[in-house]
Structure 1
Amino acid sequence: MDPAADQTRKKPRRPESTPAQRALALLVRREHSRPELTRKLLARGIGVEEAAAAVEKMAAAGWQDDTRFACNLARTRAANGYGPLRIRAELNSHGLGGESLAAAFAALAESGEDDWPARARDLVQRRFGVSCARTTALQRKAADFLVRRGFDGDSVRAALRVEPED
């Protein structure tokens, strides 16, 4: 066969993916919330009605579930040392609230992962050591760290007490 003839032949083009196929391709990589999935489809040039229909189709088939997404995100963030305020804000930024938010925190409570003062205390001890309670500057630094991580004031105060049983 002539090498010049091979170069002139083009590969057959794959047919254009449907909106549902694109949505599924996104969901295979990781969970997405409905608003996030819709936004990503719109960014890929899919029309508003087609994107909404594709997201609805994924939800009906069980591929997309806001509650499952919220529970997974909350569990992951809690395991990575983030507090309830930060988790709630991130869920809200994904367009979730109400039922999904409540279900995420209920799942954390059910699995025993919602002891925020204990999580904050653990985080401080790992990050700053047990001697953190002795110096005011280190306590302030630890408190700032916990607040940035999304822990509330009660959890921060509980984590910085000299005696954990106080």
Structure 2
Amino acid sequence: MKEHDSRQHDSRRVKASASALDSAFRILARRDHTCKELAVKLRQKGFDGVAIDGALARCRELGYLDDAKTAAIIAGHLVESGYGPLRVRQTLRQKGLDDALIEQALVRCGDEETQVISARRMLEKRTSHLGREGDPWKRRQKACRFLAGRGFAATVINRAVADR
């Protein structure tokens, strides 16, 4: 009797692991996820820790789950969208990535000169909005707040708004 229960339990565990892996594949087919994001989504679907760990391991084995690649993709997308390194760091940290991977991905932000160019480009897009402010001091403050909200450092902001 115990042997039958053991086989039945093993059978359920194999089915749960296969189902978790199938769910992981479907989730990853939509977009890249970090290990932590995928684990959370699988847990929300009701899978246990063993099934989740197995699915994560298999996805890594197959190359479908790569936190370093995902961090670089996210960082690149944010930089292209005009965000600075502080915002990139915050976003990557929220996705559960460790500090070493975040630092590698921050290379996408470029050096300070590149960031100043990006910040100026973002200000150019806001020219009509900022131009409505008649007071130059208030206009500068709005520009600074805008760039700070996009994740640029104070030194970059000061250089970007200096010519305006």
TM superposition score category, shorter chain reference: 0.7 to 0.9
Q: Which residue of 2 aligns with 1:153?
A: 154
**What amino acid maps onto 1:115 in structure 2?**
T
* Identity, % of aligned positions: 27
Distance in 1 separating the partners of 2:29 and 2:95: 18
Q: CA deviation at 1:113?
A: 10
- Note closer, same or farther for the CA distance 1:117–1:108 as it changes in structure 2 (3 Å cut): closer
**What amino acid maps onto 2:44 in structure 1?**
A
What pairs up with 1:96-115 in 2 under 5 angstroms? 96-109=97-110, 115=114
Distance in 2 separating the partners of 1:100 and 1:75: 14
5+ residue gaps in structure 2?
1-14
Q: CA deviation at 1:36?
A: 0.4
Q: CA deviation at 1:42?
A: 0.2
Q: Which residue of 2 aligns with 1:116?
A: 115
C-alpha contact 2:112 2:156 (8 A) present in aligned 1: no
5+ residue gaps in structure 1?
1-14
What pairs up with 1:50-65 in 2 under 5 angstroms? 50-65=51-66
- Note closer, same or farther for the CA distance 1:69–1:114 as it changes in structure 2 (3 Å cut): farther
More helix by share: 2
**How many aligned positions are there?**
147
Q: CA deviation at 1:74?
A: 0.3
What pairs up with 1:124-143 in 2 under 5 angstroms? 124-128=123-127, 135-143=136-144
Distance in 2 separating the partners of 1:41 and 1:119: 38
More divergent stretch after superposition (24-33 vs 119-128)? 119-128
Q: CA deviation at 1:106?
A: 2.8
- Note closer, same or farther for the CA distance 1:108–1:157 as it changes in structure 2 (3 Å cut): closer
Q: CA deviation at 1:97?
A: 2.1
